[in-house]
């Protein structure tokens, strides 16, 4: 059940499509319910309508979101004969499917792919704890209370959610890094020769904190040769371009990169910086280190990415451009240490291999089916 499923230009859609492809490759029949009209003619896809947000439709479109409107008839067709249901979001489609699966006795699993702040940031309440607590409780009430097992992409988000709603039946499984992301030779594109390239992959939104990296670049001792590359898209693009233009730095490269293009950019980057304050897992950071990049990561208490730091030089104080500038300068001025650290990260990245993670996802779903069947046989009402 995918409340939002469009092009593979964001982490959640990529995670959903990776799971779909993996389960199909293993011989399972997979039915996908989503609002993506472009997939209506494809086998295994059940398309529901999308919500019309009226005067807010433009804002929703700029955020790249098409939100599914539940259709009981479509859901019933998709669930008929299903052995399990897996939901991706605690939004209307996922919630309706969960309630239907619960009534029909179909085993239900769900992924946890939306941090409270991803929602409250749209209302400028990201830093208002009561709003975030309320969001988590609404998520639980709409979807997760019905689940036989919850998939958390990181221990961090499991701990955050369980602090609000109590213990849950769950598995912690990374969304996994595609084998596309691996080391390889990469020459810098025209115009970047001789520059120190710093990459950040993330949606152009407030919680990703691009401005911290822009300010750090302006404070660096090497700012005249720093080339920032912001791979992504999103509603903050024009504001970020204007912000960067007022700083004494080279204009950042800002655009959406296809997956093959992103691999090439990863391979020619000199450093990867992840300043985001809000992250459930930060697959983009894992993709970077799988290509051999050394990361410098915000130590935000609201980000799972901080757990990827292998040394104190891989962390900087959250929202502190001065500290980030010092870490950037260290890695520029110590190329031998940067090379050795990149090799350590290549070994570290092995645990996030996509095939291994997808095997664990399949096992979670199959175990949930088996455990629910066993519980039914043991029930005195069965």
Evaluate if pTM is beyond 0.85: yes
Q: Are strands 149-152 and 295-298 parallel, antiparallel or unpaired?
A: unpaired
The pLDDT tens digits of the residues spanning 267-293 come to 999 999 999 999 999 999 999 999 999
The pLDDT tens digits of the residues spanning 177-205 come to 999 999 987 788 888 889 999 999 999 99
- The secondary structure of residue 36, as a DSSP letter, is -
How many C-beta atoms surround the C-beta of residue 303 within 10 A?
A: 28
Whole-angstrom distance, CA of residue 69 vs CA of residue 1: 12
At 382, is the pLDDT very low, low, confident or very high (cuts 50, 70, 90)? very low
Whole-angstrom distance, CA of residue 218 vs CA of residue 221: 8
Whole-angstrom distance, CA of residue 212 vs CA of residue 218: 10
- Residue 47 DSSP SS3: strand
Question: Top-level CATH class of 11-176+354-378?
Answer: alpha beta
Q: H or E element: which one contains 70?
A: none
∠46-107-92 over CA atoms, to 5°?
50
Whole-angstrom distance, CA of residue 67 vs CA of residue 63: 11
Task: Please give the pLDDT value at position 359.
Answer: 98
Q: Quick one: CATH architecture of 196-352?
A: 3-Layer(aba) Sandwich (3.40)
Mean pLDDT, rounded, for 125-153: 96
The pLDDT tens digits of the residues spanning 209-239 come to 999 999 999 999 999 999 999 999 999 999 9
Whole-angstrom distance, CA of residue 88 vs CA of residue 17: 11
Asked if the model's pLDDT at residue 54 lies above 60, the reply is yes
Task: Please give the pLDDT value at position 59.
Answer: 57
Residue 303, beta-bridge partner list = 279
**Residues 6+ positions from 130 with CB-CB distance below 8 Å:** none
Task: Please give the pLDDT value at position 62.
Answer: 60
Task: Please give the pLDDT value at position 61.
Answer: 58
Mean pLDDT, rounded, for 330-352: 97
**How many residues would you count in the chain?**
382
Mean pLDDT, rounded, for 102-112: 96
Asked if the model's pLDDT at residue 132 lies above 70, the reply is yes
Residue span(s) of the chain under CATH 3.40.50.2000 come to: 11-176+354-378, 196-352
Least confident window among 4-18, 21-35, 147-161, 175-189? 4-18
Q: How many helices (H) and strands (E) does the chain have?
A: 14, 12
Residue reference for tokens 């259709």: 71
Q: What is the mean pLDDT of the chain?
A: 92
Whole-angstrom distance, CA of residue 217 vs CA of residue 198: 9
Mean pLDDT, rounded, for 14-38: 93
Whether 172 and 155 have beta carbons less than 8 Å apart is answered as yes
The pLDDT tens digits of the residues spanning 248-274 come to 899 999 999 998 999 999 999 999 999
What are the E-state strand segments in the chain? 32-34, 45-47, 85-87, 108-111, 149-152, 170-172, 196-201, 226-231, 253-255, 271-274, 295-298, 315-316
Mean pLDDT, rounded, for 140-155: 97
Asked if the model's pLDDT at residue 46 lies above 90, the reply is yes
């Amino acid at each position: 059940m995918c409340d939002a499923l469009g092009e593979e230009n964001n982490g959640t859609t990529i995670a959903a499509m990776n799971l779909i492809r993996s389960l199909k490759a293993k011989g399972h029949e997979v039915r996908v319910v989503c609002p993506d009209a472009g997939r209506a003619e494809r086998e295994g896809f059940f398309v529901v309508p999308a919500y019309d947000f009226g005067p807010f439709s433009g804002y929703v479109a700029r955020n790249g979101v098409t939100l599914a409107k539940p259709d009981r008839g479509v859901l019933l067709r998709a669930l008929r004969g299903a052995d399990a249901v897996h939901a991706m979001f605690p939004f209307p489609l996922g919630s309706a499917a969960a309630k239907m699966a619960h009534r029909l006795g179909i085993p239900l699993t769900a992924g946890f792919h939306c941090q409270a702040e991803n929602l409250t940031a749209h209302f400028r309440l990201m830093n208002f704890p009561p709003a975030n607590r309320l969001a988590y409780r609404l998520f639980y009430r709409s979807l997760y209370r019905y689940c036989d097992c919850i998939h958390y992409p990181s221990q961090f988000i499991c701990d955050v959610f369980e602090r609000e709603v109590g213990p849950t039946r769950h598995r912690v499984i990374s969304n996994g890094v595609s084998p596309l992301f691996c080391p390889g030779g990469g020459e810098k594109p025209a115009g970047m020769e001789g520059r120190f390239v710093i990459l950040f992959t993330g949606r152009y939104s407030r919680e990703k904190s691009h401005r911290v990296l822009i300010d750090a670049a302006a404070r660096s001792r090497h700012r005249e040769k720093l080339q920032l590359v912001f791979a992504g898209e999103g509603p903050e693009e024009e504001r970020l371009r204007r912000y960067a233009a007022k700083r004494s730095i080279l204009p950042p490269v800002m655009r959406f990169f296809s997956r093959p293009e992103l691999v090439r950019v990863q391979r020619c980057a000199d450093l990867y910086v992840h300043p985001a304050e809000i992250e459930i897992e930060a697959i983009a950071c894992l993709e970077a280190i799988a290509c051999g990049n050394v990361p410098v990561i915000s130590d935000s208490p609201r980000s799972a990415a901080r757990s990827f730091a292998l040394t104190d030089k891989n962390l900087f104080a959250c929202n502190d451009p001065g500290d980030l500038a010092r870490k950037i300068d260290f890695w520029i001025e110590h190329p031998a240490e940067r090379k050795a650290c990149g090799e350590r990260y290549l070994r570290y990245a092995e645990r996030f291999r996509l095939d291994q993670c997808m095997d664990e996802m399949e096992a979670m779903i199959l175990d949930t089916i088996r455990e629910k069947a066993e519980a039914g046989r043991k029930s005195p009402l069965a």
